[in-house]
Amino acid sequence: MPGLTLILAASLSAASLLAGAQAERFPTIDVPNDPAARYDVLMLVAERGGTLEIVTRRVGGSEATFVQREIDCRAGTMRYLGQGHSVEEMNADHRPYVLDSIDPQSISGHIADYACTHVEPLD
């Protein structure tokens, strides 16, 4: 997909995400239930085992929020891997998030729909 950078590193660095964000325009995800915000896709990658990882940046209001999600398109489940107001905060977030069913009408549901239609999961 033009304009989409896939970062294949196991860990995300602030430098790699933000340098890529400055170098090109990232795709945005339409999230109708959050019309005051813009959701940029900073990373979207297929992982072994059939899951996807996506990092989004929500821009709206006074600050940005970064969220990394793991999505299982086949099972219809998702979990957060980290979130924060910077990439460093997102990477440092080690709370034990659990896989949960995706609500297609939620913000995460719109993000999962985008991810599942733009990258083919690996087996």
Mean pLDDT, rounded, for 51-59 = 95
User: What is the Cα 121 distance to its own chain's centre?
Assistant: 15
Cα(76)–Cα(47) distance, integer angstroms: 16
Mean pLDDT, rounded, for 81-98 = 93
pLDDT at 80 over 80: yes
Strand 52-60 relative to strand 38-46: parallel, antiparallel, unpaired?
A: antiparallel
Mean pLDDT, rounded, for 1-13 = 40
| pTM tops 0.95, yes or no | no
Lowest mean pLDDT among 28-37, 44-53, 69-78, 114-123: 114-123
What are the φ/ψ torsions at residue 83 (nearest 5 degrees)? Answer: -155, 155
Mean pLDDT, rounded, for 95-108 = 94
The pLDDT tens digits for 15-41 are 555 555 444 567 899 999 999 999 999
Mean pLDDT, rounded, for 31-58 = 93
Evaluated on CA atoms 29, 46, 42, 83, the torsion sign reads positive
Average pLDDT taken over every residue of the chain:
83
Q: So where are the chain's domains?
A: 14-118
Q: For residue 20, which of 7, 9, 30 has the smallest C-alpha distance?
A: 7
